[in-house]
Structure 1
Amino acid sequence: MMKVSFAAFYLIYAETLNWIVPDFHLDVCDFLEDYGTLGLLMMPRGHGKSTILDIYNAWKLFCNPEHLILHQGATDPDAYKVSRGTEQVLERHPLSNLFGIKKARGETQKWWVSGCTDVRHGSIHARGILSNVTGSRANEIQNDDVEVPSNIGTPEAREKLRYRLGEQSFILIPGGQRLFVGTPHTHDSLYTDIKKLGAKCLVLKMYEKEKRFESVSEAIVDFDPVYVFSGIGSQAKLLKEGINYKWIKQGNVYKIIFTESHYLIDVYGEALWPERFTPQVMEERRRECRTINEWDSQYQLHAKPIGDVRLDPDKMIPYDCEPVLRRANGRYIMLLGERQIVGITMRWDPSSGKLKSDISSVALVLHDDFGNKYWHRSVALTGEVVTHDPQGNIIGGQVWQLCDLIEEFNVPGITIETNGIGNFAPASLKGALKARRIRCGVNEVHNSGNKNKRILEAVEGPLMSGLLWVHTSVIDTPEEGENSSRQYKNMRMFNPAISDQADDDLDSLAGAITDSPERVGKIHRTNEVNERPNWRTDGGVAEATLDFND
């Protein structure tokens, strides 16, 4: 069989159909021809990904009729589109006509080209990712947009998708290839996992250079600002230079000055395919995106869910100082930096006794008199709830770890959720506190209401109001193989519509926040309105010296 590069095969077909080929399509051709054993191709919507894949499959079969391709899409109908597209390319391509490489037999789901001697496995076998392909064999497995909202909406769905992908290792003929093509739809994207496996990657974003600003009237970027968008959804607008803004080059940076303040500004460089995706087209597409996450994932290829993040962890304010006890005027006060702490709450949500929980989560929250909440610690207790020595004395376990936290931060009281564990955990903790000679109140609570509603009511208000702070110890403890901490990941993935999800850390945080009463802080005591004359006598005025020594 005549050997020809994929780029040449593609250009011949494009010339036959009078296409104008953008330069990046040739980059994609070079990538597909030599992506090795594991490849990841990511392109924005509408940039010809499926068309190139149709031609690529036809080229592979043209070069080697014995090549077996298993093409998997999100559903069977999605996979069938590429099957029919590949068949059409073989029918119309001058080289396949010249050498007689055509579909010989079979249907859309599985068919063979002329020259294929395999009688069991099709040249093209097209199935959905959740369909049964046990017993199939292939030299190349393609996963085309297998990550979609319908199969990643719940933890179970994401696990099922990864299980199906794992089965492909038994289908692939030794020495074969696996190709992933698509756009991300979630923070926990499978494409992130593919990158970590060492895949050869080609990621082509709509705009390679980007910068985002919030609530600004001026902005500075280090690239030529070609596109400037304001807002998202129906309120989105492509701002016009000279009307909505002007820019000044200062050395190697560009200062953009807006005629009015905007709550959301995205500044981009040149587009990947400006001839097709004109400014007017992109303004319309931005208006069609319901959320900024949808825009980021489908056009800028960032691993984000296409819907709103109800509890966005990026809205928490990080800090890195520890509380300090000071003695003043004969009494102790607790300071966190320059803020006086007026309350400290701890909530323990044990995992023992629960059917669907694997984290025994503890949350420690500090409260100041301005209404701020400081998520100071989030700890997953490990091991047995309590361990004893041969004489029956408590010497370890989760309750012992909890005593360490209580002692370190001088916690006056702790609340324990007793759902599924009865009185076992509180009684064990009381025993450990007695053994350690630590004075701390133990309160038991049984929650029977909707957990998601409880989390939202407690966390969403302080988070959106800028009152929720987070210690760096909660941020800087990423899980193995993850880019962010378990707590951050759970917040981003939290979906109020799902009852079974990883939310133990959020549940303990919600409890710790609501365990402390809301206080009328200093911010509300600056003015006395309609103050009445105080006609009662007092004891006079006394001066006292404050002693801040430990």
Structure 2
Amino acid sequence: MASKRISFLAFFLLWAKVMNWKVPTLHVRICQWLEFCDDPVRVLMVFRGAAKSTIYAVYKAWQLYNDPTWVSLIWAADGPLSKKLTRDTINVLRRHPLCGGMLPTKPGAQMFWVTGANDARNASMTAVGVNQNVTSARARDIDYDDVEVPKNIRTAEARENLRAKIQESTFILVPGGRETYIGTPHTHDSIYPEQVAAGAALLKIPLFESSIRYEDTSKRTRYAFPFEPGEDGIYVIVGIHKAARLLKEGDDYTIEKSAILPEGYGSIVFQQPPGAVLDIYARCAWPERFTRADIEKRRKKTRTLNYWDSQYMLEAKPITESRLDPEHIKAYDMHPRLETANRAVRMMLGSVQIFSGRAYWDPAKGKVGGDTSAFSLILDDGYGNHYWHVAQGLVGEMAEFDDSKNTRITGGQVMQIAELVRRFNIVHIEVETNGLGNFMPQLLLRALKQEGLRCGVKEHIARTNKNERILAGLEPPMKSGVLWAHVDVLNGPMWDEMKDWNPAVKEQPDGYLDSGSGAILAAPVRINYLVGKPTAGNDKDWRQSAGVHEVTFEN
């Protein structure tokens, strides 16, 4: 950029005077960061309703005022959305006291050149949607203004498509160019924290600087807040959507100072347990605009806690209401082992004895981009805990044979299952026989028999609605705190599938959830025998007793 003719803050204050705005400290902070942050990739995340895009339009006008040869590409979720920023910038250039004569007679909202621009091919500002063709474009700035919105991040595939489009910036930016992301996260797998993790500069301003949440408030009447209240005091909110209330000190609660925590810390004390999710906040970023009445109104209009957290507290969460959250599943990192004594078999998971188990297979073709052929194994202890030990996607043909006569199975999905049966001593498998699975039980039995494995196979016809079945299998143990999962399951595709899953959507990736719920709903089968042949030589034990033999199934 050419030498600054005026600072951005001064430019913005002049425009605020034209518009008769009162400029809060929040906006001064944003102005200074935009002017002085020179990192090649920047992320501006400010809570919903804070006028970040409005400020950014003034910033784009200031860039062109200082250097009319500046070339920017505005990239948004779609064309109409991207034009909002260019229209706003045109309005500033037309009316700002320092920008007289900079615009042509009829500037276009999609692209326009200011007086003094020297690139006939690339406009001073060009507005495009993320799915529009920008192959031949060149720019010194790419501004991603609300490029992530609910409609383009609903599935992992949609988010991958968004990232693929954004990669085009590699070919658009001139050497030394800069990217700026402006928006709020709309999913757990948001592009904004991903950019920050990759080294992007960040200015993040949530609605409240300090916060703490209590979800289980059915028993206690005292809740601590480990931060100092600001000049505007403490904000205490219970519930979400229509039942939400912003409570009043003295009427609904009292504040007691802490004798053990640092000065200013304290506790909220109720007469009766609140019985709803409780949020305690402090230091509102814009208290003049976001009054207590306005905050309560916004909370009542917000349908889910995830939406509130993502749009106002800038936490990367899916904004749709999901009844399944993998963060509620407990993790473990050990594999089961088998012990045999006096011809009896016992399975142990660490120090816990596993009494029963069952597996569930939802067959699919296992092709890239198609439905997942998902296989899940659930183990049970004697205390009512379920251990989701395997959630594996099977690939390839259902079975591969050694010759044209199909006499011996040499590979395919059924052999992948046979290996899992051998490894984890699986004694029973239910196979969903809807559609493609109709012929799979017999084929799987053939493979197990060929490998010398004693494992029961049962056909299962799924008659209930799949989403209802997933909820019926997974929600109760998750809500009760008895569902565990191996770290390999949690680190695999199941995590994102559950995060994205919406019970109101009919067609969505749900193979792992379907197989996991199917295994939980299946009748448990006691583990009391070895599915394969015991280790050779056990009958020649030199000890007087039969002894104890361990077979470890760890990698």
The two structures have a TM-score, normalised by structure 1, of: 0.81
- 1:41 maps to what in 2? 44
**Gaps (5+ residues) in structure 2?**
527-545, 550-555
- 1:223 maps to what in 2? 227
* 1:93 matched to 2:96: yes
> Contact between 2:339 and 2:548, CA under 8 Å: does it hold in 1?
yes
**Deviation for aligned residue 1:356:** 4.6
- 2:523 maps to what in 1? 516
Matching residue within 478, 503, 514 for 1:507: 514
The CA distance in 1 between the partners of 2:458 and 2:9, in whole Å, is: 70
**Deviation for aligned residue 1:408:** 4.2
- 2:73 maps to what in 1? 70
CA separation of 1:51/1:134 partners in 2, compared to 1, >3 Å: closer, same or farther? Answer: same
**Deviation for aligned residue 1:177:** 2.0
1:251-289 per-position Cα deviation (integer Å, ceiling 9, x unaligned): 325333332212311122211122222222212211111
* 1:420 matched to 2:436: yes
CA separation of 1:471/1:117 partners in 2, compared to 1, >3 Å: closer, same or farther? Answer: closer
1:358-377 per-position Cα deviation (integer Å, ceiling 9, x unaligned): 65432111235665433233
- 2:9 maps to what in 1? 7
Matching residue within 265, 272, 290 for 1:260: 272
* 1:455 matched to 2:470: yes
**Deviation for aligned residue 1:62:** 0.6
C-alpha RMSD of the superposition: 3.5
**Deviation for aligned residue 1:223:** 0.8
1:452-494 per-position Cα deviation (integer Å, ceiling 9, x unaligned): 343233323433344433344433x3xxxxxxx4222111101
1:130-189 per-position Cα deviation (integer Å, ceiling 9, x unaligned): 344454332222111122222223445434433432334333334322221101111122
AA aligned opposite 2:224? I
Q: Percent identity?
A: 41
> Contact between 2:240 and 2:304, CA under 8 Å: does it hold in 1?
yes
Q: How many residues of Structure 1 are paired with residues of Structure 2 in the alignment? A: 512
**Deviation for aligned residue 1:351:** 4.4
CA separation of 1:488/1:245 partners in 2, compared to 1, >3 Å: closer, same or farther? Answer: farther
**Deviation for aligned residue 1:348:** 2.9
The CA distance in 1 between the partners of 2:487 and 2:209, in whole Å, is: 31
**Deviation for aligned residue 1:379:** 3.2
> Contact between 1:155 and 1:501, CA under 8 Å: does it hold in 2?
no
2:497 alignment partner, SS class: helix
AA aligned opposite 2:186? H
AA aligned opposite 1:505? Y
CA separation of 1:321/1:463 partners in 2, compared to 1, >3 Å: closer, same or farther? Answer: same
**Deviation for aligned residue 1:113:** 1.1
- 1:237 maps to what in 2? 245
1:233-257 per-position Cα deviation (integer Å, ceiling 9, x unaligned): 1111222333413232223253333
Matching residue within 404, 421, 426 for 1:411: 426
- 1:493 maps to what in 2? 500
2:168 alignment partner, SS class: helix
2:273 alignment partner, SS class: strand
AA aligned opposite 1:507? D
- 2:286 maps to what in 1? 273
- 2:532 maps to what in 1? none
2:63 alignment partner, SS class: helix
**Deviation for aligned residue 1:353:** 5.6
What aligned pairs does 1:196-207 form with structure 2 within 5 A after superposition? 196-207=197-208
The CA distance in 1 between the partners of 2:525 and 2:345, in whole Å, is: 22
> Contact between 1:325 and 1:335, CA under 8 Å: does it hold in 2?
yes
- 2:126 maps to what in 1? 125
AA aligned opposite 1:5? S
The CA distance in 1 between the partners of 2:479 and 2:268, in whole Å, is: 28
The CA distance in 1 between the partners of 2:152 and 2:241, in whole Å, is: 25
CA separation of 1:166/1:392 partners in 2, compared to 1, >3 Å: closer, same or farther? Answer: same
The CA distance in 2 between the partners of 1:353 and 1:282, in whole Å, is: 49
Moved more, 330-339 or 367-376: 330-339
* 1:24 matched to 2:23: no
The CA distance in 2 between the partners of 1:413 and 1:502, in whole Å, is: 26
**Gaps (5+ residues) in structure 1?**
478-484, 520-546
1:173-215 per-position Cα deviation (integer Å, ceiling 9, x unaligned): 3432222110111112222332243222211111122211122
The CA distance in 1 between the partners of 2:18 and 2:107, in whole Å, is: 27
> Contact between 1:129 and 1:161, CA under 8 Å: does it hold in 2?
yes
- 1:544 maps to what in 2? none
**Deviation for aligned residue 1:119:** 3.0
The CA distance in 1 between the partners of 2:156 and 2:487, in whole Å, is: 27
The CA distance in 1 between the partners of 2:504 and 2:367, in whole Å, is: 21
AA aligned opposite 2:57? D
1:2-50 per-position Cα deviation (integer Å, ceiling 9, x unaligned): 6323223223333444433223323322332234322211100121202
AA aligned opposite 1:7? L
* 1:53 matched to 2:63: no
CA separation of 1:255/1:404 partners in 2, compared to 1, >3 Å: closer, same or farther? Answer: farther
